[in-house]
Structure 1
Amino acid sequence: MNRLLPVLGLLVAINFSSLQAQDDDFYIFLCFGQSNMEGFPGIPESEKGPVNPRFQVLAAVDFPEMGREKGHWYTATPPLSRPPAGLSPADYFGRALVAALPEDKKVGVINVAVGGTKIELFDETTRESYLADAPDWLHNISSAYNKDPYARLIEMGKLAQKDGVIKGILLHQGESNTGDKEWPAKVEAVYQNILHDLDLDAVDVPLLAGEVVAADQNGKCASMNEIIRTLPETIPTAHVVSSEGCPDGPDDLHFSPEGYKMLGTRYADTMLPLLKD
């Protein structure tokens, strides 16, 4: 029995060391969705930096162009998702948060998004059937996450929890589900799965969902915003971020860099009072 004591002591030391490594002042946010969360290609030189090193990104893919390796933290210089993405709402969400929070707080984001996808790709019960009929370009994009972006989000989330505390989930998706009245229920299923798989409590980890390009910008999917605005009726801890007045690009589907800046700042403005609560 006495020979077990050194082993038990070692295990206690390891567990204590692991607990000590987690930084309660490192606020982490999961970001997922389709192309507007991914970041539409095109980053103005003025937006490439310098970025406050208190704002970090956990690389969800190997990203040799940026000198990033999957599963490691880096200063959050855009793009935050994968090559060849661009500026996204996550960029100015993080920049605005670190500017507003005390100097001892850090912000980290994990961005796993797939351009053009429906929400079904993030639900493990519908992913395979959805991909079975998906076009080649969607297979090509999702292959960055081994065609299972939800699993990658959870994998990275578990890694991040060793370093900090998950404080919220950011969603920007809906264009490919335009008109789908079941979308709020589908989002709820994904949200509940995330909470379960990462052992999180909805009260502590709200869901922030951004509207798609608005009607005042001639958004092609603007009608989806009526459905997005109903999300808190299905998810009490959900908050909708308005896209009204956020400039878009020529295709009327993606935001312009200025639009991403405005929308990302609105995500941060929505999150800040929730952090104080």
Structure 2
Amino acid sequence: MKFKSFLLIMTLVALLSSCTQKQPEKSDFHIYLCFGQSNMAGAAKAEAQDSVVDSRFLMMSTMDCPDLSREKGKWYTATPPLADCHAGLSPADYFGRTMVENLPEDVNIGVINVAVGGCKIELFDKDNYQAYADSAPEWMKGWIANYGGNPYGRLVEMAKLAQKDGVIKGILLHQGESNPNDTLWTRKVKDIYDNLITDLNLNPGEVPLLAGETLSAEFDGKCAAFNQFINQLPQVLPNSFVISSAGCPGQADGLHFTAEGYRILGKRYAEKMLSVTN
């Protein structure tokens, strides 16, 4: 009888402990939406130094990736790739790492990355994406199909799931190489931003958008001239900020950053986000 009484007491103690243990606060899980083309997806192979990630930095898989043991809509420690199943290192990687390094230990960071290599900004147009998707090259159609045929829709779908766990704090964009000389690019980005704000019931004053420059002329960036349009974005979209690519090394193709370039760029995204949200 004494042994049974002891077991009963221990069971009650365990139950009381579980009831009084502090549960993670929803407000302590900060979520960031990432979208764009191949530079946001990540076009550089991750290196050994990129394999160690703080457990406070998470990614939501935006598609099923059986080879990575990932399921769409579930959270995982944010080891690259953070976008599609076969992507590389991206700005989102060192954005998240830098954020957790500079925030209190009870704050977790989550990213949701939907990016399609080579796509124009029109692919994320909520109302008119289908016309662009239908005219896309076959290799891109397969990429789009991985996002259910609607990358914008997939981003919103995943974001709504994430809102059950945390709070959306900002949006990261890297796109532009496929919209050369597009004087309406800033307006198109604003339309996408406005749709995200509406569809996710967000306060635009509390959710900044950060847009990264394309590979700079310093590293023979083929689309460096487009940076003049990216830098006009804050004039069209309040609460948006431009992330400089100066000094971020690029690959020989003149379009993509090296792994080191992505690390620098990602850190700059984080430094700006920290400065405008704290």
Q: Say whether the fold is shared (TM-score over 0.5).
A: yes
* Higher Rg: 2
What residue identity is the alignment partner of 2:236?
A: T
Aligned partner of 1:66 in structure 2 is 68
Aligned partner of 2:224 in structure 1 is 222
Aligned partner of 2:108 in structure 1 is 106
2:158, 2:24 → 1: CA distance?
A: 17
Name structure 1 gaps, 5 residues minimum.
Answer: 1-19
Secondary structure of residue in 1 paired with 2:205: coil
2:85, 2:70 → 1: CA distance?
A: 11
Task: Rate the CA distance shift 1:92–1:130 in 2: closer, same or farther, 3 A.
Answer: same
Distance apart, 1:179 and its partner CA: 1.0
Report the number of matched residues: 256
Distance apart, 1:45 and its partner CA: 2.1
Secondary structure of residue in 2 paired with 1:255: coil
* Equivalent position to 2:26, from 23, 26, 30: 23
Distance apart, 1:126 and its partner CA: 2.0
Check whether the contact 2:248–2:262 (CA below 8 A) recurs between aligned residues: yes
| Residues 215-250 of structure 1, C-alpha deviations (whole Å, 9 max, x = no match) | 111100000100000000000110000001100111
Secondary structure of residue in 1 paired with 2:146: helix
Secondary structure of residue in 2 paired with 1:208: strand
1:146, 1:43 → 2: CA distance?
A: 26
Superposed CA RMSD in Å reads: 1.1
Q: More displaced, 135-144 or 27-36?
A: 135-144
Secondary structure of residue in 2 paired with 1:31: strand
What residue identity is the alignment partner of 1:157?
A: A
Distance apart, 1:65 and its partner CA: 1.9
| Residues 1-56 of structure 1, C-alpha deviations (whole Å, 9 max, x = no match) | xxxxxxxxxxxxxxxxxxx98610110000000000001151112212x2000000
Q: More displaced, 53-62 or 39-48?
A: 39-48
Distance apart, 1:273 and its partner CA: 1.5
Check whether the contact 1:22–1:161 (CA below 8 A) recurs between aligned residues: no
Residues 1-277 of structure 1 correspond to what in structure 2 (within 5 A)? 23-48=26-51, 50-276=52-278
2:181, 2:65 → 1: CA distance?
A: 35
Secondary structure of residue in 2 paired with 1:177: coil
Task: Rate the CA distance shift 1:22–1:139 in 2: closer, same or farther, 3 A.
Answer: farther
Secondary structure of residue in 2 paired with 1:223: helix
Check whether the contact 1:21–1:162 (CA below 8 A) recurs between aligned residues: no
What residue identity is the alignment partner of 1:32?
A: F
2:133, 2:105 → 1: CA distance?
A: 44
Distance apart, 1:112 and its partner CA: 0.5
1:131, 1:78 → 2: CA distance?
A: 27
Check whether the contact 1:117–1:176 (CA below 8 A) recurs between aligned residues: yes
1:255, 1:211 → 2: CA distance?
A: 11
TM-score by length of 1: 0.90
Name structure 2 gaps, 5 residues minimum.
Answer: 1-22
What residue identity is the alignment partner of 1:67?
A: S
